Amino acid sequence: MEPAATATAIMGSSAAETTNFDSVVHLYWPRVFRFALASLRDRDAAEALTQDCFLHAYKAWTRFRGEASIQTWLMRIAVNLVRDASRNRRLQFWRRLRAEDSEGIGVYARDGRLSPEAETLLREQIAGIWKATTCLPERQKSVFLLRFADEMTLLEIAAATGLSENAVKVHLYRALRTVRTHMGRPE
């Protein structure tokens, strides 16, 4: 079955009908990993967090009620794990060590059609954005990353974070204002 057809089949069925957890992992691993990497800026920590997310999901698979989409449910688990990891003081050393990482998430933005100058400019802009996100409060950072790194809708973000849609809008607005200010761009 093609990935799109598999996604449609999984999203259209209840948790009781969905028995192929491997398909869920295959479909959603990149999205969860991308969010974890953007949040933690540490590839090893992001991989470990992604594994933990799917381990939590696997353990709770039989209790999944289908009140939200599988994607939203997984992202909610990931958001909570990122929040817990951010509170963990042991990660502070690694965060500082990798703060100057110029590769990070910017490597994934390359499309191969950019000139070296344009690619360098893009890399500098992306690095500036990631640097600006470090000073965001945790909720604003989560909302910002879910919206722009994972391209989730406001309703999906609300479901994943447990916030109301209006609260998501407020946090996103404030995050954008802060990032723009740090980037030297007026509102």
Q: How far apart are CA 60 and CA 90, in angstroms?
A: 27
pLDDT at 7 over 50: no
CA 187 to chain centroid: 25
Q: What digits encode the pLDDT tens for the residues 116-166?
A: 787 787 778 878 888 888 889 999 999 998 888 777 888 989 999 999 999
Q: Could you give the domains of the chain?
A: 3-182 (1.20.140.160)
103 or 184, higher pLDDT: 184
Residue with the two structure tokens 């998501």: 168
User: Rounded to the nearest 5 degrees, what angle is found at the Cα of 79, between the Cα atoms of 38 and 28?
Assistant: 75
Report the distance separating Cα 120 and Cα 123, nearest Å: 5
What is d(CA 64, CA 82) in angstroms, rounded to the nearest whole number? 21
Considering the entire predicted model, what is its pTM?
0.54
Summarised one tens digit per residue, pLDDT across range 74-111 is: 999 999 999 888 766 444 543 443 454 444 444 444 44
